Structures are given as C-alpha cells and as structure tokens.
C-alpha cells in the first residue's frame, strides 16, 4: 500500500536536555539526540537505524533527562552541533533511499512536539534554515487513532500505549534510549499498513507568516487566540511569528496592541489556525525573544476583533495587495503631501503603486494626525526606508517602524473614533474629573529630571527613559512650569516602586537628551512637593525653600481620560486654587465643596481631545481648572442630569485676551485697588 504524497517514511525521534514526553520543548531546552530510520511503504523494508548525539550550547542536563536518557555532559561534549547533525541527517537519508530504490519521503514523528516545539524554534533562534522535509510530517498518534478509532484519544497516546494496544512484545530495557522508540514506531507503522491504512494527510508547517486584513464581521474562535506580553516595543508581526516558529498563525493573525496614545504597549494578540496550535503556543509561556521572556496567556476572539477588525473600505483596499511590507511613519508635518513623502523616501525605496501605496491617517473631520502607512514590495526596500528613521522632513524628524495590517486597522479605528466637538454632550453638563494629584509620602518611588531642554516634550522624556516607561504609574508624568507657564527644565516621574525609581536614576543620570545631559535623582512624593515650593533636590540631599514662594507645580500639562479636556493654555489661566480663593462667610461650612468643572457653550473652542497627542502614560494635573457658568445654566444642568449641584462660593472673574507671557504679578497688578478681595489669593499663591 502506498501513500499519495511519498513512497517512504523517515521515522524520527528526538530528545532535549530538559523535559521529556508531553512537556518536550516547553522548557526551551536544546536538542541533544536524534534517532531515525527509513521505511519503504511499498516493500515494507527498512533502512539502517541511525542514532546521533547533538552538542548543545548548554550541556547542563536536567535530572529527568539524565534519568530517562542515560546521557551525560561528557558524552555530549564530543558530539557535533545541531547544524552539522542535520546535514548528516539529509545525507544519510538520501543514501538509504537510494539503496531502497526510492526518491521521496515524509517525516513521521511521535506527536508534533519534536518538529513544532523543538526543531523549528531552536533553528530559528540559531539562525539557520531547516530543509523542506521538516515543513511536512505525519503525526503517528493521529494516524494511529485514524486507523484504530477505538484506541485512546490522540492526546493520551504514547509509543508505549500504542504498542500495548497492538500487543507488540517489545522490551524498552533491552535497547538504548531512542532506539527502542524508533523500532517500536516502525512496528506500529507495519501493523497499520497491514490494516490497509494510507498515509495521505500530513501535518504542515507554514514557511512564513501571511499578512492580511481582518473584518469585524468575521467570526473568530476564542479557542484559537492568545495574548503575548512583554514584547520589545519595536517588535513587528514577523518578529512575533518568528517567536512562534513551527506553529501555524492564521493569515493576518498578529495584532500588535496600542495604548490610547497610539503607541505599542508590548502586547500582541495572535490568532492560530486551530485550537491545537493555540494550545502549543501556550506552552511557550516565558520563552525568550532575545534577552526578554514573553508571557503567553489565553485571549478571546472578541479581544482580537476589537484590535484587528475593521470596517473601512479604504483600509481594506490599501491592505488588499498581497505580500507587502508595511512601514509606519510618525511625526509627519500636518502639511505634508503624498509628493513630500515620496520625495522623503527617495528612489532607493520605491513605494508600491506610488501614491496608492500611501495611507494618511486622519481624524473624522479630515485633519491629518501626522501618521501614515507605506507599502513596499520587498524587504530590501523596507530596510532602505527604515534607515531614514529620524531624518528631517520640513522642520520635523520622522520616525519609521515596521508595522502590520492589524496595526493599520487599529490606528485607523482609534483616530476615527476620536470624539469631536460637534458630538460632545450639551456643554453645560458638569464634569467631575478624576483626582489626578501628585502623591505625598516618604516612599522614594519618584524621580526628578533636571536640565531638560526647554523644547522637550513628553515624547522626548519617554524616549529618554527607554524600557523604563513601562514602569511609570498611570498619569505619572509631571512637567514643571515656571510662573509664565513655560517649561522650567524640570519634570517629576512617579514610578511603580522605589526599586524602579532607583534603577531609573542609576541608568539615566547624565544621559543625553537632544544636545543636553539630564540629571536624574530619586525622590519621594514629599520631596517632590517640597521642591515645587522652592526647595532644591540633588544627589547631596534636600534643601528647604528659602521662603514660602509660589508653588511651581505643573498644572498646564493636563490630559484627562475624559471625552473632552481643557487645553494646556486654558488650564494655565483658570486655576481656582491658585488665583481665585474661596470667599469665606460666617455661615460657610468648614468642609469645602468639591470642585465642579463646567464647559459653557461660549468656550466651545477650548474643547479638544488631547489624549491623542501625548504618549503613554498621560501626565497628571495637580489642580483642576474650571470655567464658571451662569447660575441659571448651572441650575438647568442640574435639572437635566438629576445631579445635585453645590453652590459655588465666592465670585469668579474670567479674563480673556491676556498676553501669553502674563504672570501672577501682572494679574494682581491689574486688579490694583481690589487687593482686599484678592488678599487670600496672593497669600495662597
């Protein structure tokens, strides 16, 4: 009886320096043994049985490996490395086939772990290619269950249980480790051939990951999706596919996750072709990508569609071109045209289809976001484009990264869903923002950055901190402004722990940002507030402020996670805590009422979703400004929303048309003659 795909099988067995059996490959240990034998499916003859030891880079064998295999580091130290062993494997198989008069063969292994979880991942990490024969193989357990349906389930099969089912009288103790397994597998195959079993449907391993779009209307089985965490921020879909080498990822099945600011957050959702491949992927939990270990967890189809699914015809058309390399461009001037981008890329990296290979990302009202995606027909052109990372276009430097179809869709989804001014609720509705304040306390879980370039923004700080940005608390970046609302050259960062703050201070102290070195000191929230009151902090310690100077805390860099926020310029002008005190009356309660923020109709031009402009994590305002609404409007809002509105004590005055360099002293001077009313304001400031 012959097989439709080949006339011979090469029965293959292997072992690693670590786990054995069902956990083979799960501990990322290297291959140390290969045993194989050719079986002629026509004549039922066999070739020579070969056993080859493999010299691993790490010869520290696990206790289980020593016990089961009987191998020692001394014996393995004399063996050949894996690439040489695989060359010998191909040569010896060809020689045995020639003796048997056959020309083609397919591998046959005990389960899928040896091929998918050991050989493919290891050769990928060692940067050499497996021959084509390792991309197609028969799973003996599946073939056995197909031939004998009444036998145990595939997942419960072993070489021993299959032999026992057939009543094969083999003694494991009589043979060397690996030899008994291969001889028994050959005997099982002969028994199956006697039952007229035909080997027709081999398992396949995809040669490469295929990109492609995903529609929100698709149905994604939750049993096929995983979440990978801890990825390097610059990882591409091809890097992730390489991490899962040997497993079949669905077309367009890698979705890099972005945070609310459009930056990659070190996570990805990966969709496999079936649940079996997904389960094998889960066994790679805490395997390494370079020097980082990657966590792998179960995820759902809904989560995958939320990230990768799209409805835009423009995106679908852009991504319809097969086998294209996608590059993301970020930081483009808002006035940049297609011609400008093509000119920036130049003739050494031609864009697929010219202008048709460019996709500018825009807000729903047509405003550019500064992002664009570009298609290249081959890896060479894409690499040429990546060499232009941080080159200048106009007056801005442009960032270029490898991207994915899923990221294209996710970025488009995020920007197209950005709230616009016309879609906001009635602007008189009160909004109580979350209390984002600088924490106090003696725990030194903060760092101070001193000597920042005055042009430095949040992007520059996050790039300066590198991998440590993942350890910043949400809303933990505080820019310090001077009395004129301009950058002072200082910033405070709240880290997740004192250890993280210490590591950042050690790693980043006197590191260059643009053309300046930046000093980085570990501090506590208490020390942070002390400095904002005029004290000094350096590596020699903390010095108290000379007097009660105005607090220089940074209220202007506000970025709330609400539908609308007050822009930096407006927030600097409207600060009830700093400028306009509460008027105290004998009847006033001792408990201060909570501040309520209003957005009146006449201030509609202040609405803007600033969360789209700042990288993660957003910064934290230390005070919350508000614009007062007329009493009647307040009452109407309260009635409409059924929300109790507390009366606003004191009187507020809104000033429009102030010069941009106006400071506290100029405002107080403007109110000359009303010092009594503003006395508390100047005292509190």
Environment class of residue 348 by beta-carbon count within 10 Å: exposed (0-12), middle (13-18) or buried (19+)? exposed
Q: For residue range 196-218, what is the model confidence (pLDDT) as tens digits?
A: 999 988 999 999 898 777 777 88
Cβ distance 526 to 448 under 8 Å?
A: no
Residues 6 or more apart in contact with residue 238 via CB below 8 angstroms: 209, 402
Centroid of chain to Cα 437: 28
Cβ distance 443 to 528 under 8 Å?
A: no
243-261: average pLDDT: 88
Beta bridge partners of 80: 54
Max CA pair span of the chain: 112
105-125: average pLDDT: 96
**CA geometry: angle 122, 125, 129, nearest 5 deg:** 75
**pLDDT at residue 589 above 50?**
no
What CA–CA distances, in Å, run from 415 to 370, 418, 450?
Answer: 11, 5, 34
CA distance 42 to 102: 10
DSSP 3-state of 531: helix
Cβ distance 594 to 549 under 8 Å?
A: no
478-503: average pLDDT: 83
pLDDT at residue 665 in the model: 65
**pLDDT at residue 400 above 90?**
yes
pLDDT higher at 265 or 126: 126
pLDDT at residue 405 in the model: 78
Give Rg (Cα) of the chain: 33
Cβ distance 93 to 38 under 8 Å?
A: yes
**Ramachandran angles phi, psi of 539, nearest 5°:** -70, -10
Cβ distance 137 to 202 under 8 Å?
A: yes
CA distance 167 to 147: 15
Residues 6 or more apart in contact with residue 82 via CB below 8 angstroms: 30, 31, 54, 55, 56, 122, 123, 126
Q: Please name which of 349, 346, 347, 340 lies closest in space to residue 370, comparing C-alpha atoms.
A: 340
pLDDT at residue 83 in the model: 94
pLDDT at residue 635 in the model: 45
498-508 and 458-465 are packed helices; what angle lies between their axes, rounded to 10 degrees? Answer: 90
CA distance 633 to 12: 80
Q: Give the confidence band of 171 by pLDDT, cuts at 50, 70, 90.
A: low
Sheet with 472-481: list strands edge to edge.
472-481, 487-495, 446-450, 516-523, 511-513
**pLDDT at residue 321 above 90?**
no
Cβ distance 585 to 545 under 8 Å?
A: no
Residues 6 or more apart in contact with residue 652 via CB below 8 angstroms: 576, 580, 628
Q: Please name which of 245, 279, 19 lies closest in space to residue 115, comparing C-alpha atoms.
A: 245
pLDDT at residue 274 in the model: 96
Stretch (H or E) spanning 474: strand 472-481
pLDDT at residue 606 in the model: 32
Stretch (H or E) spanning 188: helix 179-194
DSSP 3-state of 343: helix
**pLDDT at residue 15 above 90?**
yes
Beta bridge partners of 52: 34
Q: For residue range 271-293, what is the model confidence (pLDDT) as tens digits?
A: 999 999 999 999 999 999 988 99
pLDDT at residue 387 in the model: 93
Q: For residue range 28-45, what is the model confidence (pLDDT) as tens digits?
A: 999 999 999 999 998 889
Least confident of 104-118, 142-156, 478-492, 567-581: 567-581
370-379: average pLDDT: 92
Least confident of 100-109, 453-462, 474-483: 474-483
pLDDT at residue 683 in the model: 47
Give the CA count within 13 Å in the CB-facing half-sphere of 463: 12
Strands 8-16 and 106-109: parallel
**pLDDT at residue 59 above 70?**
yes
Cβ distance 41 to 199 under 8 Å?
A: yes
**Ramachandran angles phi, psi of 101, nearest 5°:** 75, 25
pLDDT at residue 216 in the model: 77
pLDDT higher at 61 or 652: 61
- pTM value is 0.56
pLDDT at residue 26 in the model: 95
**pLDDT at residue 179 above 90?**
yes
CA distance 401 to 421: 32
DSSP 3-state of 385: helix
Give the CA count within 13 Å in the CB-facing half-sphere of 431: 21
Centroid of chain to Cα 4: 44
pLDDT at residue 311 in the model: 56
By percentage, how much of the chain surpasses pLDDT 70? Answer: 71
Residues 6 or more apart in contact with residue 678 via CB below 8 angstroms: 581, 668, 671
DSSP 3-state of 22: helix
Helix residue ranges per DSSP H, 437-536: 458-465, 498-508, 525-532
Q: For residue range 544-582, what is the model confidence (pLDDT) as tens digits?
A: 655 444 333 333 333 333 333 334 433 333 333 333 333
Which one of 14-23, 255-264, 355-364, 659-668 scores highest in mean pLDDT? Answer: 14-23
pLDDT at residue 537 in the model: 62
């Amino acid at each position: 009886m012959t097989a439709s795909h080949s006339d011979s099988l090469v029965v293959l067995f292997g072992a690693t320096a670590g786990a054995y059996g069902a956990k083979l490959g799960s501990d990322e240990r290297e291959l140390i043994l290969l045993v194989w034998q050719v079986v002629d499916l026509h004549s039922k003859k066999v070739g020579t049985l070969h056993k080859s030891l493999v010299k691993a880079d790490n010869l520290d064998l696990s206790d289980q490996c020593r016990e089961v295999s009987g191998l020692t580091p001394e014996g393995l130290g004399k063996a050949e490395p894996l690439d040489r062993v695989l060359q010998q494997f191909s040569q010896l198989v060809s020689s045995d086939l020639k003796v048997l008069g056959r020309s083609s063969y397919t591998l046959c292994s005990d389960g899928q772990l040896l091929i998918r979880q050991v050989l493919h991942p290891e050769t990928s990490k060692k940067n050499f290619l497996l021959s084509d024969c390792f991309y197609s193989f028969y799973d003996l357990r599946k073939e056995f269950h197909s031939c004998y349906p009444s036998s145990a389930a595939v997942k419960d099969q072993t070489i021993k249980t299959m032999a026992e089912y057939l009543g094969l009288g083999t003694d494991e103790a009589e043979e060397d480790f690996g030899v008994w397994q291969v001889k028994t597998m050959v005997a099982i195959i002969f028994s199956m051939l006697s039952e007229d079993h035909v080997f027709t449907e081999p398992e396949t391993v995809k040669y490469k990951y295929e990109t492609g779009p995903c529609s929100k209307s698709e149905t994604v089985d939750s049993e096929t999706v995983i979440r990978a965490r801890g990825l390097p921020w610059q990882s591409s879909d091809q890097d992730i596919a390489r991490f899962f080498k040997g497993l079949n990822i669905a077309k367009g099945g890698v979705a890099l996750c972005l945070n609310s600011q459009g930056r990659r957050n070190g996570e990805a959702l990966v969709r496999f072709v079936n649940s079996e491949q997904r389960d094998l992927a889960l066994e790679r939990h805490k395997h390494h990508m370079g020097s980082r270990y990657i966590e792998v967890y179960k995820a759902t189809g809904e989560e995958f569609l939320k990230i990768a699914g799209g409805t835009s015809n423009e995106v679908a058309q852009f991504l319809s071109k097969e086998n294209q390399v996608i590059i993301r461009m970020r930081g483009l001037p808002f006035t940049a045209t297609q011609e400008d981008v093509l000119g920036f890329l130049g003739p050494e990296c031609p864009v697929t289809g010219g202008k048709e290979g460019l996709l500018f990302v825009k807000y729903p009202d047509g405003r550019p976001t500064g992002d664009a995606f570009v298609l290249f027909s081959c890896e060479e052109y894409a690499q040429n484009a990546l060499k232009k990372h941080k080159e200048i276009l106009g007056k801005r430097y442009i960032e270029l990264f490898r991207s994915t179809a899923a990221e294209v869709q996710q970025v488009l989804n995020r920007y197209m869903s950005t709230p616009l001014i016309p879609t906001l609720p009635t602007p008189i509705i009160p909004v109580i923002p979350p209390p984002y304040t600088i924490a106090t306390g003696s725990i030194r879980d903060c760092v101070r950055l001193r000597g920042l370039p005055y042009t430095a923004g949040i992007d520059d700080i996050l790039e300066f901190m590198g991998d440590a940005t993942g350890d910043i608390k949400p809303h933990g970046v505080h820019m310090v402004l001077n009395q004129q609302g301009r950058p002072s050259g200082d910033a405070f960062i709240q880290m997740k722990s004192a250890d993280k703050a210490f590591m950042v201070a050690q790693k980043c102290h006197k590191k260059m940002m643009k053309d300046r070195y930046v000093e980085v000191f570990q501090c506590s929230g208490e020390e942070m507030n002390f400095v904002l009151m005029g004290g000094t902090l350096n590596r020699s310690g903390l010095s108290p402020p000379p007097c009660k100077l105005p607090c220089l805390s940074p209220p202007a860099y506000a970025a709330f996670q609400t539908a609308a926020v007050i822009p930096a310029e407006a927030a600097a002008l409207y600060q009830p805590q700093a400028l306009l005190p509460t008027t105290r009356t004998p009847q006033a309660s001792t408990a201060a009422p909570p501040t309520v923020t209003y957005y009146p109709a006449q201030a509609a031009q202040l609405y803007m979703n600033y969360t789209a402009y700042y990288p993660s994590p957003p910064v934290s305002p230390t005070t919350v400004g508000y614009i007062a609404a007329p009493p009647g409007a307040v009452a109407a809002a309260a009635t409409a929303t059924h929300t109790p509105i507390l009366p606003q004590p004191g009187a507020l005055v809104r000033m429009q048309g102030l010069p941009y360099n106006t400071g506290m002293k100029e405002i107080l001077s403007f109110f000359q003659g009303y010092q009594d009313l503003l006395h508390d304001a100047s005292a509190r400031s």
